[in-house]
Amino acid sequence: MQKYIIRRLALMIPTLFGLSILVFTMVRLVPGDIVALIAGDFGATSKETRDAILKDFRLDRNIPEQYVLWLGEIGRFDLGSSLISGRTVQSELKTRLPVTMELGILALVVSVAMGIPIGILSAVKQNTAADYVGRSAAIGLLAAPNFWIALLLIALAGRYFRWGVPPTTYVGFTDDPIANLKLMLVPAIILGGSSSGGVMRYTRTAMLEVLRQDYIRTARSKGLTDRVVIIRHAMKNALIPVITVIGLGIPGIVGGSVIIETVYSIPGMGRYYVSSINQLDFPVVQAINLVSALVVVFANLGVDITYSWLNPRIRYS
């Protein structure tokens, strides 16, 4: 297992290197003039001002030189500074990353808590009313965009009831845990609910396949109750493909938080990412993409490690 983890960590290096090239190149293809934006903030658009800005932010060099310099900063664990605010990216992410992580973890909990039980119930009660309701709910959650649900809920909440309306100010978890959870609960349910539809469908399919296996029939012939058979024998094997789906859904949760944070005015990485793209703030966009890639890569590594816990026959060497 240790050799496998080391090998996977080593493979992250070329993956992140290729992603860094892609991100660095793509953000510079976005239409707009960052120098004009910065010069406009100072109220000056002269050639001297533009040249000074280009030199200060090293934008006067060609793209390969800029990339090498940026890569050297990353090697020193320096994510650079914002072109707009001048603040370091580390200081911004230090406050925004925990907010996004909290939202993502809550959404993942909601997705698993909704998807797995309903999927198991739908498989055990195949072709019954419970099965039809579960399958319909899964299709509905997959079909409805989470941003549309969020906007609809805000509109209805503002007219008919109080909960679900975004607060005017954000309250941190360390400042007031109860108020923070009240603020984050509805966005987490929307974000996790939209990804739970796929978890439901895969759980149902995997559970149906496992329930047809010979060892399940043997366990029932021994007189074990359905509850024991499902929990002790069927569920662990059925969860292996479901864990894969959950791992593949983590990038969707990370990407979905961009929209949800914007809609609910949550000061996380997603909202910061959108504003940075609009302002052509290259260092921020590059840093957030790298951090998101690290989260996804480590999440997939955790999924692979979970396989061996669910099925002891799986061994990595």
pLDDT given at position 131: 87
Q: 6 lies in a domain?
A: no
Residues 117 and 34 in one domain: no
Tokens of 135: 């399958």
Tokens of 37: 């934006």
Least reliable range by pLDDT among 250-254, 283-287, 299-303: 250-254
Q: How does pLDDT run across 182-216, given as a tens digit for each residue?
A: 888 888 888 888 888 888 888 888 888 888 888 88
Given a contact cutoff of 8 angstroms between Cβ atoms, the answer to whether 152 and 232 are in contact is no
The domain of 20 spans 16-75
- In the predicted model, is pLDDT for residue 163 greater than 70? no
Q: Are residues 53 and 122 in the same domain?
A: no
Rounded to whole angstroms, how far apart are CA atoms 300 and 112? Answer: 16
| pLDDT tens track for 304-316 | 777 777 666 666 6
Instruction: Tell me, yes or no, whether 234 and 291 share the same domain.
Output: yes
Distance CA 109, CA 17 (A): 31
Residues 196 and 133 occupy one common structural domain = yes
What lies within 8 Å, CB to CB, of 312 at 6+ separation is none
Q: What is the pLDDT of residue 43?
A: 52
HSE of 286, CA atoms in CB hemisphere, 13 A: 27
- 167 and 259 together in one domain: yes
Residue 221 burial (10 A CB sphere; 0-12, 13-18, 19+) = exposed
Looking at the structure, do residues 273 and 150 belong to the same domain, yes or no?
Answer: yes
Regarding whether 178 and 267 lie in a shared domain, the answer is: yes
Name the domain count of the chain.
Answer: 2
Q: For the chain, report the end-to-end CA distance as a whole number of angstroms.
A: 6
Nearest to 23 by CA among 250, 271, 288, 268: 288
Residues 270 and 207 in one domain: yes
Amino acid type, 92: E
17 secondary structure, DSSP code: H
φ/ψ of residue 8, rounded to 5: -65, -40
256 lies in a domain? Answer: yes
Are 164 and 209 members of one domain?
Answer: yes
In this prediction, residue 162 has a pLDDT band, given cuts at 50, 70 and 90, of low
Q: Are residues 57 and 162 in the same domain?
A: no
CA distance 210 to 236: 10
In a domain, 63, yes or no: yes
Same domain as 259, residue 168 = yes
Q: In this structure, is residue 90 part of a structural domain?
A: no
